[in-house]
Amino acid sequence: MTPADTSDRTQERIVSRSLGGTIAAICMAAFMLIGLLINIVALSEESTTDTTSYSLADILDGTTSQQIADELAQTVLPKEAAKLQRAVNWLALGDLGPKVRRGCNNWLFLTDELTTHADGDKASRVRATQVEAVQKMLAEQDIQLIVAVVPDKSRIMQDQLCSLQRPAILENRVQSWIQRLHDSGIAAVDLSQPMQTSESPSFLRTDTHWNATGAQLAAQAIAAKVKEHYGTPLLPRQTVEVQTAQPHIRPGDLVRLAGVDWLPTALQPKTEGVAQLTFNVKQDPLADSADDLFGDDNLPTVALIGSSFSRTSHFDNFLSLALQTPIANMSKDGGAFSGSANDYFRSPAYKQTPPKLVIWEIPERDLQAPLDKDVAILPP
């Protein structure tokens, strides 16, 4: 390549960046002007019914201006301006804001997975101690516990990070935490192992969660750990048949988190289709056998606690399929590390019909998150 060619390409990039910034500025100015007009109309309409009068003293001491500012904050302009700014940044610059990062091939990642925390090691030790306390509490009631750690999407799909950097310090985060649990006599499984060897992607492209492949692999790994530790089939027994229908478009939570989900689909990050699955349950005729480990009650004896991962891509159904027993899914969207555990161990469901086995699903990214995001789990 000649020096002239290099100079031309450099100039083209400069012009392109300048043009993108100009377009973004023009769009933002237009949107702000529209929003301002809407707010003026809204305030004028309110003023026809508002009987509030302002004294000279109120005007002089700033009370009036503060009240007007408070009213403006509740009108259309601030909210719409924020939405429009996110849209302009995405359409003109390909930027999805501070919470979402864009890899290659239209893969999106949660910024939290690429972030380290100053007291991360301390936080992970505290959380391991909490798990140990829960295990002790359950053991006193003859209830078994298995912990399953869901790996970061950025760990499993590293090939799609491209220019994004996952800190090297996070490489052994899951293994070291699980090893501590093992040293305390707690059964735990690292769900990254089956996913890293899968030929198909285990995560959704525009979502933080696993897809059906990842959910099934995780369920099978947990079932293997259950059989390794307990061996005897769980009760009540049941079989599950899975039927697959045509794929439907699945909105990604990372698109929503980026604040551009309100745009027309064609202007959003590329959507993806997900096959529709139906799970048909059939009770096992041996369900009333009294010879199995967990008795002959028809109620589920396995409780699943955890985060939104346990509520996504039919994970609980895949777990029921792998264990051949019904699952009481007590997980919670946004539950992070301790949310669903707090709710479940304090609930009538736990106190009145305690399970025989608790499976506790925990996202890797929550192991070292600031402790102020959690509430102490014990005592119930």
105-143 pLDDT, tens per residue? 999 999 999 999 999 999 999 999 999 999 999 999 999
3-state secondary structure of 189: strand
Distance CA 95, CA 102 (A): 8
pLDDT classification of 12: cutoffs 50, 70, 90? very low
Distance CA 240, CA 256 (A): 33
Q: What percent of the chain has pLDDT over 90?
A: 68
Which of 312, 314, 313, 349 has the alpha carbon at shortest distance from 333?
Answer: 312
End-to-end Cα spacing for the chain: 70
Task: Check if the beta carbon of residue 277 is closer than 8 Å to that of residue 212.
Answer: yes
3-state secondary structure of 186: coil
pLDDT of residue 29: 56
Distance CA 126, CA 181 (A): 12
19-28, 98-107, 248-257, range with the lowest pLDDT: 19-28
pTM value? Answer: 0.79
138-142, 229-233, 296-300, 358-362, range with the lowest pLDDT: 296-300
DSSP annotation of 210: B
* Token couple for 60: 């002089």
Which of 166, 60, 58, 54 has the alpha carbon at shortest distance from 110?
Answer: 166
Work out the widest C-alpha separation in the chain, in whole angstroms.
86
Mean pLDDT (whole number) for 228-253: 90
3-state secondary structure of 271: coil
3-state secondary structure of 289: coil
36-79 pLDDT, tens per residue? 555 554 445 444 444 455 566 655 555 555 565 565 556 556 77
Distance CA 346, CA 348 (A): 7
74-88, 97-111, 115-129, 324-338, range with the lowest pLDDT: 74-88
Total residues belonging to the chain = 380
Task: Check if the beta carbon of residue 228 is closer than 8 Å to that of residue 316.
Answer: no
H or E, element range at 329: strand 328-329
3-state secondary structure of 302: strand
Distance CA 216, CA 223 (A): 10
Flag whether pLDDT at 153 surpasses 80.
yes
Task: Check if the beta carbon of residue 79 is closer than 8 Å to that of residue 42.
Answer: no
3-state secondary structure of 238: strand
Which of 308, 309, 305, 289 has the alpha carbon at shortest distance from 297?
Answer: 289
3-state secondary structure of 279: strand
Mean pLDDT (whole number) for 263-290: 82
Amino acid identity, position 8: D
313-324 pLDDT, tens per residue? 999 999 999 999
pLDDT of residue 28: 53
